[in-house]
């Protein structure tokens, strides 16, 4: 089933970490397997936030000498960053296996991403000047608490509560998806893409790389590729409805935009609330009510509807 | 244990082969001896002037519905719900006449399986509102989600705002009234009843409809398979005027501009026979 939610503040920052946590916690019944956030703080000049993991949560409960292995993998990432001339300005260990680095780097982002992902067990969750992507097993409260999102200030974000239907219950298959190796783009999706392999092969022939077998990742790579070709986000989302088959509603974020697209059958829900100050949307109105408790006017976007909002 | 009674030959002269069941318990659902005769035998005796209140704040759907049932058992014929907070599956399975006033919005599957009550909702409702309604009236003051009035069989279902996609899917009777627009696939597989949309309709309107009538006041994106325009008669106009006036939804320009859509009856599975004719044949 899955639940998705998005939020954008049009007049400055807010406590978007706490707001997204409340929205996703209200959607917990739609997907108890994992929760993910893509939230956007103030962009920092010449600085990127790199979030990566070197193991799955379940590895901690069974893998041989996993604690030593995690340390070895992290050391390997550190050595790779050093070799590529990356300066690590700040380092946080959110969990034993997931890390947040503030880095300075002016080289090729694909080169950096490829080198890190070549390390066994290492997976980049996101790279962005504003984006921070956090996902793990558990509900929104658990994940938010573990990664300290309660006081995250920012302009916008999207999130996802996952009921695994197409792939495993692990962090790799959890949403949101960062569009490897493009910075600051993330996607959450509710639905199924029926021409996934066809579209994936097309994108792979163009040189794009996928890090999972989850159909939702396709949307992230598709959007990032189109944006890189010079299309606007709105044009990209409209094109996606024509080219991607299946039933879906998805949200996409860039450094300063939040977009929404709904398939031609309108088979997956979305409720929208819009004011001059903010836009909130979610699979169910209860998620919006978690941050706007008073009576509000909401509506369902129609089939093939595409909307883009600016932060 | 039920068995077959082959002694009856009532239909044989007409070429029918019938074998009535014998020895089977049949529950009396309605009593013709009662005044009106349309209430379920188990319907509680409620006083419409006795008003009860349910505050939905910080309560789960089951808790709220149990409170509603307790109030009904104690004779409350009018129940007011405060702070519903767009929660799901509230006011379900009410099978007798009474009043509900909802001050706020409901989530998904609100007011399902109703047979008789009158419900007024000041806010919005989510997907699958009033699914399978048999009788009664539901009025939503704001917007509604998709599959509004799916498979309703009777009663009046009113949304003064706009509704989502697949409005009245599998509608088998009753009336759906929409003040604003409706989304794609509205009236999909409609079999009976009437749907009125004062605004625009999305694509595939009335797709695969078997019967029933759809009236659209605005633009129709396109018609579905087997949905065809029909002449708007004086009788239709009179009915539209009466219904829209009743719920204070009459458009400024009246009803003459409405487009009437009916079933073309060309589907491979449709034989063009009226139900009464079918009974004779079968």
Taking phi over 0 as left and psi of -120 to 50 as alpha, with beta for the rest, B95 belongs to alpha
How many CB atoms sit inside 10 A of residue B242's CB? 11
At A140 the pLDDT is: 96
What is the mean predicted confidence (pLDDT) over A84-97? 93
The answer to whether the Cβ–Cβ distance between B86 and A284 falls below 8 Å is yes
Mean pLDDT across B109-116:
96
Determine whether the interchain pair B108/A284 forms a contact, defined as Cβ–Cβ distance below 8 Å: yes
What fold, for A3-38+156-310? 3.60.20
User: Looking at the predicted structure, is the pLDDT value of residue A181 above 90?
Assistant: no
- Residues A56 and A76 sit within 8 Å (Cβ to Cβ): no
Q: At what angle do helices A109-117 and A66-83 cross, to 10 degrees?
A: 150
Beta carbons within 8 Å of B4's beta carbon, 6+ residues apart? B19, B20, B21, B22
Pick the residue with more confidence: B4 or B245? B245
Q: Which residues does chain B have within 8 Å of residue A302's beta carbon, measured at their own beta carbons?
A: 164-165, 183-184, 202
Q: Which CB contacts under 8 angstroms, 24+ apart, belong to B139-147?
A: B139/B247, B142/A297, B142/B105, B143/A297, B143/A298, B143/A299, B143/A300, B143/B180, B145/A269, B145/A271, B145/A300, B145/B108, B146/A266, B146/A269, B146/A300, B146/B183
pLDDT greater than 70 at residue B36:
no
pLDDT tens string A123-144: 999 999 999 999 999 999 999 9
Among the partner residues B104, B124, B183, nearest to A302 by beta-carbon distance: B183
Strand B21-22 and strand B47-55: the pairing is: unpaired
Q: pLDDT tens, A160-171?
A: 999 887 678 889
With contacts defined as CB-CB under 8 Å, which chain B residues touch A241? Answer: none
- Token digits for B215? 């009236």
Mean pLDDT, range A63-72, rounded to an integer:
89
Provide, as residue numbers in chain A, all residues whose Cβ is less than 8 Å from the Cβ of B124: 285, 297-299
Residue with tokens 């009245």: B168
pLDDT tens track for A232-266: 999 999 999 999 999 999 999 999 999 999 999 99
- How many angstroms away from the CA of B158 is the closest CA of chain A? 16
Annotated domain spans of chain A: 3-38+156-310, 44-129
Residue B255 clears pLDDT 90, i.e. is over it = yes
Distance between alpha carbon B184 and the CA centroid of its chain, in Å? 19
Instruction: Report CB contact under 8 Å: B143, A269.
Output: no
Residue B44 near chain A (CB below 8 Å): no
Mean pLDDT for chain A overall: 93
In this prediction, residues B170-186 reach a mean pLDDT of: 97
pLDDT at residue A63 greater than cutoff 80 = no
Domain spanning A44-129: CATH 1.10.260.40: no
The answer to whether A136 touches A52, Cβ cutoff 8 Å, is no
Residue B260 contacts A, CB cutoff 8 Å: no
pLDDT at A213 over 90: no
Percent of chain A with pLDDT over 90: 82
Interchain pair A303, B105: CB under 8 A: no
Residues of A that are catalytic: 2
Could you say which of B87, B165, B184 has the minimum Cβ distance to residue A286? B87
User: Is it the case that residue B273 has pLDDT exceeding 70?
Assistant: no
Residue B34: pLDDT band with limits 50, 70, 90: low
Distance CA A158, CA A252 (A): 8
Instruction: Return the ∠ at Cα B133 (arms to B131 and B134), rounded to 5°.
Output: 155
**Looking at residues B57-66, what average pLDDT do you find?**
96
In this predicted complex, what is the ipTM? 0.88
Residue B27: is it exposed, middle or buried by C-beta count within 10 angstroms (0-12/13-18/19+)? exposed
A305 to chain B: nearest residue by CA? B183
Instruction: Read off the pLDDT band of B1 (50, 70, 90).
Output: very low
Ramachandran class of A282: left when φ > 0, alpha when ψ lies in -120 to 50, beta otherwise: beta
Reported confidence tier of residue A43, pLDDT bands at 50, 70, 90: confident
The model's confidence at residue B5, banded by pLDDT at 50, 70 and 90, is low
Mutate to test the interface with B, among A286, A293, A304, A305 (most CBs of B within 10 A): A286
Chain B residues with CB under 8 Å of A296 CB are: 105
Q: What CA–CA distances, in Å, run from A219 to A129, B5, B212?
A: 21, 63, 41
Average pLDDT over residues A254-279: 96
Confidence of residue B15 (pLDDT cuts 50, 70, 90): low
Residues of B in contact with A289 (CB under 8 A): 85-86
Using alpha carbons, list the distances in angstroms from residue A269 to A2, A206, A247, A263, B82.
Answer: 10, 32, 10, 10, 25
Q: What are phi and psi of B205, to 5 degrees?
A: -60, 130
Could you tell me if B104 lies within 8 Å of chain A, comparing CB atoms?
yes
Q: What is the pTM of this model?
A: 0.89
Average of per-residue pLDDT across A283-296: 94
% residues pLDDT > 70 (chain A)? 100
Residue count (chain B): 282
Q: Å from B181 to nearest chain A CA?
A: 10
pLDDT averaged over chain B? 89
Mean pLDDT along residues A193-216: 93
């Amino acid at each position: 089933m899955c639940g998705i939610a998005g939020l954008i503040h049009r007049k400055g920052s807010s406590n978007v970490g706490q707001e997204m946590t409340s929205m996703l916690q209200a959607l917990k019944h739609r997907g108890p397997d994992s929760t993910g956030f893509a939230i956007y703080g103030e962009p920092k000049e010449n600085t990127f936030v790199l979030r990566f993991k070197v193991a799955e949560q379940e590895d901690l409960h069974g893998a041989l000498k996993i604690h030593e292995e995690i340390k070895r993998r992290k050391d390997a990432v550190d050595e790779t960053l050093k070799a590529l001339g990356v300066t690590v300005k700040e380092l946080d260990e959110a969990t034993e296996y997931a890390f947040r680095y503030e880095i300075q780097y002016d080289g090729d982002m694909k080169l950096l991403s490829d080198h890190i992902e070549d390390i066994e067990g290492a997976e980049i969750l996101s790279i962005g000047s504003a984006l921070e992507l956090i996902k793990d097993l558990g509900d929104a409260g658990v994940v938010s608490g573990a990664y300290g999102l309660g006081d995250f200030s920012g302009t916008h974000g999207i999130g996802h509560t996952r009921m695994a239907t197409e792939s495993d219950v692990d962090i790799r298959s959890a949403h949101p998806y960062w569009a490897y190796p493009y910075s600051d783009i993330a996607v959450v999706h509710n639905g199924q893409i029926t021409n996934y392999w066809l579209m994936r092969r097309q994108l792979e022939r163009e040189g794009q790389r996928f890090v999972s077998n989850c159909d939702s990742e396709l949307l992230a790579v598709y959007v990032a590729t189109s944006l890189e070709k010079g299309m606007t986000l709105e044009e990209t989302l409209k094109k996606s409805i024509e080219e991607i088959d299946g039933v879906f509603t998805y949200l996409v974020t860039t450094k300063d935009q939040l977009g929404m697209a709904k398939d031609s059958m309108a088979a997956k829900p979305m409720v929208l609330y819009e004011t001059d100050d903010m836009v909130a949307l979610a699979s169910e109105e209860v998620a919006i009510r978690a941050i706007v408790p008073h009576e509000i006017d909401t509506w369902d976007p129609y089939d093939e509807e595409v909307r883009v909002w600016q932060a | 244990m039920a068995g077959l009674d082959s002694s009856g030959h009532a239909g044989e002269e007409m070429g029918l082969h019938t074998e009535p069941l014998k020895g089977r318990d049949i529950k009396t659902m309605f009593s013709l001896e009662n005044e009106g005769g349309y209430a379920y035998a188990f319907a509680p005796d409620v006083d419409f002037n006795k008003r009860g209140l349910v505050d939905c704040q910080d309560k789960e759907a089951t808790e709220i519905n149990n409170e509603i049932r307790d109030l009904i058992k104690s004779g409350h014929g009018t129940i007011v719900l405060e702070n519903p907070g767009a929660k799901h599956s509230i006011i379900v399975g009410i099978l007798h006449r009474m009043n509900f006033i909802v001050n706020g919005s409901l989530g998904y599957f609100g007011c399902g399986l109703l047979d008789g009550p009158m419900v007024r909702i000041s806010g919005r409702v989510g997907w699958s509102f009033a699914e399978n309604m048999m009788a009664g009236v539901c009025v939503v003051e704001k917007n509604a989600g998709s599959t509004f009035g799916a498979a309703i069989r009777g009663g009046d279902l009113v949304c003064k705002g706009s509704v989502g996609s697949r409005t009245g899917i599998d509608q088998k009777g009753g009336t759906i009234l929409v003040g604003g627009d409706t989304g794609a696939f509205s009236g999909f597989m409609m079999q009976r009843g009437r749907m009125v949309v004062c605004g625009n309709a999305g694509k595939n309107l009335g797709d695969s409809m078997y019967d029933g009538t759809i009236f659209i006041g605005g633009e129709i994106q396109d018609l579905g398979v087997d949905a065809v325009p029909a002449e708007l008669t004086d009788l239709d106009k009179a009915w539209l005027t009466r219904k829209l006036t009743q719920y204070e939804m009459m458009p400024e320009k009246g009803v003459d501009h409405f487009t009437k859509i009916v079933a073309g009856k060309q589907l491979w599975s449709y034989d063009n026979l009226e139900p009464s004719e079918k009974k004779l044949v079968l």
